[in-house]
Amino acid sequence: MRAIILAAGLGLRLQQPAGEQFPKCLLQFDGMTLLERHLQMLEAAGVEDVVLALGFQPETVRTELKRMGWPRDVEIVLNPRYDLGSVLTVHTVADALTRGGDVLVMDADVLYDERILSALVAGETVNRLLIDRDFETGDEPVKLCLKDSVPVELRKQLAVNLEYDTIGESVGFFRFREETARRFAEIVAGYVDSGRANMPHEEAVRDLLLERSQVFDTADVTGAPWIEIDFPNDVERATREILPQLQPLVSAPR
């Protein structure tokens, strides 16, 4: 199994002071960066093949990898047009998507409990989505809607006539089987070729779900603490509410 961590963006909505901006994966909570948390939990889960998709200030991320003394090679792929959408970042890691085996595609700016990752990687080869039914309504969360356990929508804005029996927030992590990852890469390439490189990669995932060419299961992670960090108040909430709920990390031996 391979993990692709998307960490290319500018993070403009975080409103970091001028001259002090840095990749969000380097945000620290309890003295540990989000990046180190990702790597420790992936290794503890047995996922040692990690690809980092970088763009903004890649040298600072490389410095963090050296600082933490990470013992395994982490493949780094650069998206020079990181100012565009995450579809383009996913396109830059197309080789990692298509070289075989199950693939995890993970947003870097998420503080989460290891139960989230355990739900994602459990079992044999599978396509899997994560849903949290306890979420705040509004325009910001990416909603995942199911009807008879089948995904029928993955978007921030829902059509008024959409029929579903389950709704929740999509955690920013996806698992794809080998053939599904290849199809996902094809859809992403279509976005780039048609001038839609500025789109979020969730739109390509949505297309994959709605074409019904692949079967997905959904793991319900309601109750497991996590937060995607986009705005300054997310940092405050992560520190105040999420961090105290996290299970202590159990690091795999290095």
Q: Judge whether 243 lies within some domain.
A: no
Q: How many domains does the chain have?
A: 1
Domain containing residue 117: 2-128+171-198+225-233
Domain assignment of residue 89, yes or no: yes
CA 181 to CA 3: how far, in whole Å?
12
Q: What is the CATH number of the domain that holds 109?
A: 3.90.550.10
Residue 79 lies in a domain: yes
Local confidence pLDDT in tens for the 254 residues of the chain: 999 999 998 876 665 655 578 899 999 999 999 999 999 999 999 999 999 999 999 999 999 999 999 999 999 999 999 999 899 999 999 999 999 999 999 999 999 999 999 999 999 999 999 999 999 888 889 999 999 999 999 999 999 999 999 999 999 999 999 999 999 999 999 999 999 999 999 999 999 999 999 999 999 999 999 999 999 999 999 999 999 999 877 554 44
Question: SS3 letters for the chain?
Answer: CEEEEEECCCCHHHCCCCCCCCCHHHCEECCEEHHHHHHHHHHHCCCCEEEEEECCCHHHHHHHHHHHCCCCCCEEEECCCCCCCHHHHHHHCHHHHHCCCCEEEEECCEEECHHHHHHHHCCCCCCEEEEECCCCCCCCCCEEEEECCEEEEEECCCCCCCCCCEEEEEEEEEEECHHHHHHHHHHHHHHHHCCCCCCCHHHHHHHHHHCCCCCCEEEECCCCCEEECCCHHHHHHHHHHHHHHCCCCCCCCC
Per the domain annotation, does 144 fall within a domain?
Answer: no
Residue 146 falls within a domain, yes or no? no
**111 in a structural domain:** yes
Q: Does a structural domain hold residue 84?
A: yes
